Amino acid sequence: MNFDLTSSERNTTWNFLWNELEDYYSKTEKQRTAIYPERKEVVHALDSDFEQPRSTKEAVEYVLKSLSKYAVHTPHPAYYGMFNPRANFPSILADVISAVYNPQLAAWGHAPFAVEVEHMLIQRIGEKFGYTAPNIDGVFATGGQEAHITGLLCALHEKYPDFASSGVQGLEKLPVVYCSSASHHATIKAARVCGLGGSAVKYIEVDDEQRMRVDELERQIKEDLELGLQPFFVFATMGTTGSGAIDPLPEINEIAKQYNLWVHADAAYGGAVRLTKEHTELLDGIENTDSITFDAHKWLSVPMAASLFITKHRYALGKAFSISANFMPEEEDEIDRLSSYTHSIQWSRRFIGLKLYLPLLVFGWEGYEETILHQIRMGDYLREQLLANGWKIYNHSQLPIVCFTDERMEEDAAFSKFVYDRTLEKGNAWIINYPYGKYATLRACITNYNTTEKHIDDLIDWLNENREEYLK
């Protein structure tokens, strides 16, 4: 069996695939944002006959058609949902290059260029967040969840010197993790994976803007200390998924310092504002945190998944993950600690960082700043048009996330559900039905660098139509 195919077959397939992908990439807007088939339809459409091989072209064509038909098209400029952007073109090329070269980042000696690229990017982005060399360290991760788990494990090994050998069973007091009630549920999963259990996570009440209440954080810490528990970790969110709320980091840092807690900033989405000069103050205090999660596959518009874990504790990753294996190459200490098998949860790993490195080579920091500012402006324009058309806005984030509804129906969950359902059914746009506090609202987020005022005007028209239909 010739897994390489012949040169002629490869060229034919490359050309076919390239043309098909180019057609989708250049005409994404012509797609419906999504269709919602019954599961049985999708299962029935699956080709599972592996006894009858087909041509590469036939196989590729089938996959492309299926993805086009059965998917929410997140690269669409009218996709206003989660943080799933359109991938910029150089980052797509990076994914292809990484797949063809398939470098192994487990050890520096196997992929010195790739490992050094990622190390350099960690340093440069760490500096953007206000961390200082030579203490910056970090690793590229498969997603924000892995970055969160990495932060929690680093904190456990820092707090408990024997944790690497004795684990949770060696702890005399139950460690406690704190996060706001509006934070991502990845916190719970991280606690479970690390062996602490979901009960170790304490949710702190939020204020009217869905920011963590610092007075409640300190009250809960004191209560837990009196119960004989061990407070040790705070997740602070820099742009909540629901409303774009940013927790008050300076105050959280002060309390953490007083009670010797590790502060981890979930800047998976909002961290991108640190690449701008105009909005960097939104994340004041992040330079004083212990570690950060930052997802390049969100606001930096690269293919999923490309997350970064960054810390100002130079040796924290080594304490958590350093290990020796007789089948791995022996390298100098400074080089050895860059290898993913001594430096992260992962062992074998692909070249994740290339998806960020190549766009930076092409567009530079200035290009990213321009794109981020454009999306913030589009968020402002969306707010203006909603207000001008009789919609009420409930959140006041400076990030391009807007929670809104008609004030007359703010407590009518059926209204927001109707508008949400009708918008998705028509396939014109993709939004979210989101409860903002006690109010049933709709949520739209600018995630695409190609979204323009015209797209937002169209969205407003569709929302108005659906509202009128409900009120008939």
Asked whether the CA dihedral 74, 77, 81, 82 is positive or negative, the reply is positive
pLDDT in tens, 391-437: 999 999 999 999 999 999 998 999 999 999 999 998 899 999 999 98
Question: Tokens 């590729």 sit at which residue?
Answer: 60
Residue 337 confidence (pLDDT): 67
Q: pLDDT tens digits for 214-250?
A: 999 999 999 999 999 999 999 999 999 999 999 999 9
**Which pLDDT score, from 0 to 100, does residue 66 have?**
95
Beta bridge partners of 292: 265, 310
Measured from the Cβ of residue 288, the count of other Cβ atoms closer than 10 Å reads: 18
In Å, how far are 314, 341, 342, 347 from 328, measured between CA atoms?
23, 9, 10, 11
| Identity of residue 113 | F
- Tell me the average pLDDT of the chain: 93
With beta carbons less than 8 A apart as the criterion, state whether 316 and 154 touch.
Answer: yes
Beta strands in 280-370 (DSSP E): 291-295, 307-311
Question: Of the ranges 56-60, 323-327, 381-385, which is most confident?
Answer: 381-385
Does 310 score more than 90 pLDDT? yes
Residue 327: the pLDDT is 47
Instruction: Provide the H-helix boundaries in 73-162.
Output: 89-101, 112-128, 144-159
How high is the pLDDT of residue 218? 98
Residue type for 170, please? G
What are the tokens at 203? 């949710």
- The Cβ of residue 168 has, within 10 Å, a number of other Cβ atoms equal to 15
43 pLDDT above the threshold of 50: yes
What is the reported pTM? 0.94
